[in-house]
Structure 1
Amino acid sequence: MTNQENLPGNGADGNGALDLSGKHIVLGLSGGIACYKAAELCRALIKAGATVQVVMTEAAEQFITPVTMQALSGRPVYTSQWDSRPSGGMSNNMAHINLSREADAILIAPMSADFMAKLLHGRADDLLSLMCLARPIDKVPLLVAPAMNREMYAHPATQRNFVQLDADGATVLGVGSGFQACGETGDGRMLEPDQLLEDVIAFFAPKVLVGQRVLVTAGPTYEAIDPVRGITNLSSGKMGFAIARAAREAGADVTLVAGPVGLPTPRGITRIDVKSAQNMLEAVTERAQAATVFIATAAVADWRPAAPSTQKIKKDGSGQTPQLVFTENKDILATVAQSAAAQSGQLFCVGFAAESHDLVANAEAKRLRKKVPLLVGNIGPDTFGQDHNALLLIDERGSTELPRASKLSLARRLMREVADRMASRAPAKLKAGAP
């Protein structure tokens, strides 16, 4: 049986390592039907390695009980500013001070429109709002997950409050769109627990790529033979999608150009779906000019049928096989690597080589042929469709092995490697441009 708790995206990196290990989260619940999602969120945070202290408003108790949240968090739930129980190891009847001082972050999920207004005006008439006001702003970040009716969400007062919340230093995690408990449909739903978990994990990730614009390709391409048949490969796109997520966690603005795969889009990135190698080339060429990092993980077809049939090719019983004429697809990585931005160092290019044998020799030859500063090699048959991989990084300094691990774990390591290489190249560029 699969251990769901250790799958990437469930708070673990796929190796059993927990993404929020050592983090202490104060989970605040304000009044709203979305409190039912807070129960699953609490459990997800704990599975990811965090300890969770739940604080509820009186209104939240109308939707879910403190008993439920205590059972899930394994800690007593605090609901009143007059609660005299010891908190944070102290018995001074100051839960609003003690609970906030031991937190690595306060996460309000759900945050109602009413509670948001309290935060904006510094009101503190219950334990949760008092705790948010009393927290050390420079040490305890505040993350909020709004949840409200679509009309409440769209109201000008609410939108002004969001702007001010951001100006005050809070991190607004956004909202979902869809069917609401009131029967209406639109924006304002609280994000799903797995989405919030991904956002919390990203919040704590080292921001080694802040200010960078990362363009990633992922998955296979599909080259049509006729309207119902085509040529493709076994690439699942999992490595490229993991890299897109890791780049976003590292603080980059990420665009993902994906071939035909059925993977969900990682949080916070822009996704462009394409089909053929030509489609992918056009999408990449259009967006590479605005990028500072290009990571080509897609397994792009080398050839395509020169003249796909407009109708299904049928056998006629003669035993004769159709004669296909192929033409070579333009190399996407080489095209981008030879651009003026890449040649000047303004665009850092990373290529991937999926080989079947002689990985070191073939990957190094590919790096030199395509003129990229970093080439990442792997054995294709060992990784296609799998959740784990092993990588070999090759650059002008030699090769570095990244042992077999989850693709998300490797993607995070690769982002650090890319950031280090970009930082080491910067002084040389400045020196070269100096008078």
Structure 2
Amino acid sequence: MDLNYSLADDAFRADIRAWLEANLPDELRDKVLNHKRLNRDDFANWHKLLGKRGWSAPAWPAEYGGPNWDATQRHIWDEECARVGAPTVLPFGVSMVAPVLMKYGSEAQKRHYLPRILDGTDWWCQGYSEPGAGSDLASLRTRAERVGDHYVVNGQKTWTTLGQHADMMFCLVRTDSGAKKQEGISFLLIDMKTPGITVRPIITLDEDHEVNEVFFEDVKVPVENLVGDENRGWTYAKYLLGHERTGIARVGQSKRELVFLKRLSLTRKKNGKPLLHDPLFAAKVASLEIELMALEVTVQRVVANEAGGRGPGPEASMLKIKGTEVQQGLTELMVEAVGPLAAPFDVPFLEGERAHSIAGDDDAAPLAAYYFNYRKTSIYGGSNEIQKNIIAQMILGL
């Protein structure tokens, strides 16, 4: 297994870096690098800008309009985007439902939905979690009953990220209540403008509207919006989650945030010296950096396996666990570095309505909200506890 980059890889990185430096809008770069909030237009405009270059779906093959990059090139792309401060391309359409459609969808579904995902026409959201069915997703209770040429859907989804903007939802529903819980689930594509759908905001601790509750009351979904076979949705859901968990590692983002943490701790004083020169704090930073280096090597091993034709397996769970732990550790040390200066809460500054924080410290002002928001990373995509169970079963045979 060769974990080194080739000369062609280095040339590819140089091209990517030059394009990003020339084309990433300064306003977007500033928001990402300084932990400010992105709005719908930020995501949509960046998607369209990438689309003009043919890069809005880096993992897609050429037959569906993608750049046909190999696993190493996609990894380089992710690294360079994170380094320069480019927004994340929202994964729900491009990286989550699209691979499912490519593998399991009908030809009609591929022809209709994939071009609309590629050019950003449709904004997608995920209908998985429910009250009482989060990590134990197979316990979901949202029902879909076949009535003629439609399914009639009733139930509730929760923690639906950015669902307030969505045009479409890919949704797990129960179509056979008598089967074993994993065997009675189907995968539906639901138009969010369908009568009977209600989206209610969940305002999080940082006063952000990122997640929602979604209610279904006699919602009619055409049978042709069923992906694959009825009652085989669990197979498609697991395939999707494997792709999601691999991406959650976010090594490039963590490397960028480590640079920010070091710069931040050099500007803070303890006993008249930079905080980063304090042995105890420096040891915490060094420990986290070592974990990040080990994670990066593990990601490179997975990338090398994918380049050899292997898809993500239980390694995806490893990346999810350690990647999210590193992300949370970085936010913890940032808040520790600034101390009480992280406490003032300035929503207009976070949302770009004011150029500088009223507290007078623009670096510190977003960090409490950043810290609290990143508590979610060890939960979404299947909680880290569940990932440990997967590793124990699939690798250790327990």
Instruction: Give the TM-score category using the shorter length.
Output: under 0.3
Q: Select the structure that is richer in strand.
A: 1
Question: What is the TM-score when the length of structure 2 is the normalising length?
Answer: 0.23
Structure whose CA Rg is larger: 1
Question: What is the TM-score when the length of structure 1 is the normalising length?
Answer: 0.21
Q: Which has the higher contact order (CA 8 A, sep 6+)?
A: 2
Q: Select the structure that is richer in helix.
A: 2
